[in-house]
Structure 1
């Protein structure tokens, strides 16, 4: 059991890609010590600096969310989202709207094309048949807090503004932009409230374009929940 762990993206070590096209910050992988072939779920942030292919992850379901930058055009053998990709070719998705999660299979061969410069993306992976992942975004709540459902394995990340997170036991956490909490095997019922409508300049999400999602007018709290499935008999 791991109770909520505070993190700042700026403190997470960045690992450059082998092809030189970007870098990845792995926030957390579960279970501890698991590698690429045996993790159940994994959360990371990637900076994409150049056009090129995505790594293929057979048996893994993925959700990607644009954090900052102009975004990328994803091309692969998945159905096109006509509402999100105006004039995009078939089997493409324009990941150009910040804080709009897009789910796809890791079995798909995908390449990406930058849409005007480097971009930073939030990535969630879950092992198909063992874990179901959901990624949602809570918008500004004003004076009234929002109650999240109980989550046993999950993460919250503040993007573009500061958030107050209060646990059922009364523990209180202040999350500036680019900071969050993750936990595992520990049911958490959280109450969340946005603290400001403007980005926190001291704690912007680190990225090559030097602009957080708040710069586009979109801020929020990313909420990830993992549902651990019972083994099939």
Structure 2
């Protein structure tokens, strides 16, 4: 039986960084309440206010998307810097390699999706909804984050209304069709077993 959870932005867990360079807002983590060294998957947003290295997460893969601000330049594992902006595709990379970040011009907000590499894989897609659309759930764990605008979702035995920052988490709903209505920028996150 599919399980749906609507996650309201006002209830997300907020964690200031120890170095004072930003704040993380945890949208969801599995297992629920897991420590940062023990999660299977984690979805969060971060406010990044200063240049510097990313935290390392051994055995974890990460995808980063820019939500707000003028962008960031990332040097991943000693490679040439990659510039990410709000219009860039989500960028996937290992979370256990050295990453150095330089802000383009001021603070940014980003979306981080992380999964444990030996058991899970994830995919992040940014979509702009302008009216009505439908999508088929393509993963056992499936999340939609409404970044801008408002979005109504309806599926076979439920529905949700999302404002900016709100999310819906569907588990065990593989193959289900979800109707989307509204004018919104959303991020669709699919998490599957390896």
| TM-score normalized with structure 2 length | 0.90
- The yes-or-no answer on 1:129 pairing with 2:118 is yes
- The yes-or-no answer on 1:4 pairing with 2:8 is no
Contact 1:65 1:98 (C-alpha < 8 Å) held by counterparts: no
Provide the rounded CA distance (Å) in 1 between the counterparts of 2:63 and 2:105.
22
Offset of residue 221 of structure 1:
1.5
- Report matched runs for 1:138-157 at 5 Å: 138-142=127-131, 144-157=132-145
Contact 1:4 1:182 (C-alpha < 8 Å) held by counterparts: yes
**Structure-2 change in CA distance of 1:37 and 1:13 (3 Å):** closer
Going by fraction, where is strand more abundant, 1 or 2? Answer: 2
- The yes-or-no answer on 1:226 pairing with 2:185 is no
The equivalent residue for 2:86 is 97
Moved more, 120-129 or 175-184: 175-184
Contact 1:64 1:101 (C-alpha < 8 Å) held by counterparts: yes
Contact 1:22 1:47 (C-alpha < 8 Å) held by counterparts: yes
**Structure-2 change in CA distance of 1:8 and 1:108 (3 Å):** same
- The yes-or-no answer on 1:182 pairing with 2:147 is no
The equivalent residue for 1:56 is 56
Name the larger-Rg structure.
1
Q: Which runs of 5+ in 1 are unaligned?
A: 79-89, 197-218
Aligned length: 193
RMSD: 2.0
**Structure-2 change in CA distance of 1:10 and 1:32 (3 Å):** closer
The equivalent residue for 1:83 is none
The equivalent residue for 2:148 is 160
Provide the rounded CA distance (Å) in 2 between the counterparts of 1:99 and 1:174.
27
